[in-house]
Amino acid sequence: MKSLIIAFVCFLGFSIANAATNLTQVMATLPGGGYLMDMGVDENGLFSITDLKGNPIPGYPFTVNPIPAPTGAGPAGSSNGTLTKTPDLWGCNDPEEVNQADWTWAGGELSFWCYGSNMVPKKRILYWIKNDSIAYICNYVGAQNCLGTEYWSYMQDIASWCGANTCGWFLQGSGNKSYGRGIKGGLSDPLKVCSNIQN
């Protein structure tokens, strides 16, 4: 009986480990709030999104398709997230636009999180979702702090360069971090802008 139970538990564990879900479908229903996501797949080919406490969101592990490094659409990130850019770079994700009210809410939450002296973990993307709008930070190096004032100041630049509501990103000259605004699942989704992942 004992070995039967063990066999069953092993079977269950095996099934769960293989129940990889499609990220596109998971993202489409992801509720508003703050999340941390990987810059790319790990050494086991897995891709993770967690809540801000580090709990993987339901549906993990995800199947994702690595894609060639983005050109033009976002920072020239390599698949391992290594960037050596100087000076600052920025770009627009025409014609995608955020909903002002939603994005402002998301950006406010992101700023508040940064203000609380939280660190963006090594090579992870911090993002806040409200409906379809996303406020995000991509961290290409080790754990780093972030600043809400910096976020708004870059986004003001993006608004004047790209258009009042147009999505865009700003990559710091150090290559350490980019800040941006985007649309869930769109070209301006940090999944596409910062990492070589297609959901």
Ligand X SMILES: *[C@@H]1O[C@H](CO)[C@@H](O)[C@H](O)[C@H]1NC(C)=O
Which string of x and - marks every residue 50-69 that binds ligand X (by CB under 6 A)? -------------x-x----
Which string of x and - marks every residue 98-117 that binds ligand X (by CB under 6 A)? -x--x---------------
Minimum separation from the CB atom of position 10 to ligand X (A): 26
CA-CA distances (angstroms) from residue 185 to 28, 56, 130, 174? 7, 19, 13, 28
Minimum separation from the CB atom of position 143 to ligand X (A): 8
CA angle 25/30/32 to nearest 5° reads: 155
- Residue 145 in the binding site for ligand X (CB under 6 A): no
Minimum separation from the CB atom of position 20 to ligand X (A): 9
| Interface with ligand X (CB under 6 A), residue from 17, 142, 145, 156 | 142
Minimum separation from the CB atom of position 70 to ligand X (A): 13
CA-CA distances (angstroms) from residue 141 to 26, 83, 145, 176, 196? 27, 9, 11, 6, 16
Provide the 10 A C-beta neighbour count for residue 115. 12
Minimum separation from the CB atom of position 154 to ligand X (A): 14
117: DSSP letter: T
Q: Are 87 and 172 in contact (CB under 8 A)?
A: no
Q: Are 189 and 199 in contact (CB under 8 A)?
A: yes
Q: Which is nearer to ligand X, 16 or 143 (CB)?
A: 143
List phi, psi (to 5°) of 180.
Answer: -160, 180
- Residue 165 in the binding site for ligand X (CB under 6 A): no
| Interface with ligand X (CB under 6 A), residue from 50, 131, 163, 185 | 131
Q: Which residues of the shown chain bind ligand X in the complex (CB under 6 A)?
A: 22, 24-25, 32, 63, 65, 78, 80, 82, 99, 102, 131, 141-142, 174, 176
